[in-house]
Amino acid sequence: MRLFRQGTYALIFYPATFMFVIGCFAAGLFGSKPLRAVVHAWTDFHHALVRMLGIFTEVRGSIPSGAFLIAVKHQSMFETLEIVRIANTPVIVLKRELSQLPGFGWATRRYGVIPVDRSAGAKALREMLLLGKEAAAIGRPVIIYPEGTRVRPGETPPLQAGFAGLYKALGLPVVPVAMDSGRLWGRNLPRNAGTVHFVVGEPIPAELKREDIEARVHAAINVLESGPQASA
């Protein structure tokens, strides 16, 4: 069943994604709003596809509208699409390599992303802060994966330094989001049927000390690491 689920997903999702990228090129001729509508249709399509394969989403809490820094646990590709559905037209911090992929990279840049070159050090942080301020100025939330990369279920690494820098520079409250997709999802393909749980925490105020904001966000995005009922 796992191989059937993975094969069906790959055969449908990746060709469909190519078509959505073509749709972004066409929609982009008419401005950013039509292009964003195509991106949102793509994430809705993905949501429907995984439901067909027996993977459901349960969201506890809601992300408020407006400019926030949204800190998300990262275990698989699944939440990178699902969080776009849950948030309100977010700008997304992602690896620069993804923003440079042919076609797809162009679409992400037009939608709104903050590419980060981890090897660029202070220069990368300055660019991230500049783009983050531009997003906040127009009321769009900024999504960041503060642990820096995908981790396995149960892993709770310390937050990367870039999170605290972005938090301080933007001066925005943080909405923490815990989730447990790694139980059902491999690196790029689904493994098992079931429900992925998202827990949206209460907004954490701006302008806290670094040790305080890091401790509160780290705890909030990891509330599911002992099981989906840990936050109940």
- Top pLDDT among 127 and 15 is at 15
Question: What kind and span of H or E run contains 99?
Answer: helix 96-99
Mean pLDDT of the chain: 91
Q: How far is CA 149 from CA 134, 159, 219, in A?
A: 24, 10, 17
pLDDT of 90 = 93
Give 62-115 pLDDT, tens digit per residue. Answer: 999 999 999 999 999 999 999 999 998 999 998 888 888 888 989 999 999 988
**pLDDT bucket at 129, cuts 50 / 70 / 90:** confident
> Max alpha carbon distance in the chain (Å)?
49
Residues 205 and 161 sit within 8 Å (Cβ to Cβ):
no
- Top pLDDT among 37 and 232 is at 37
pLDDT of 232 = 42
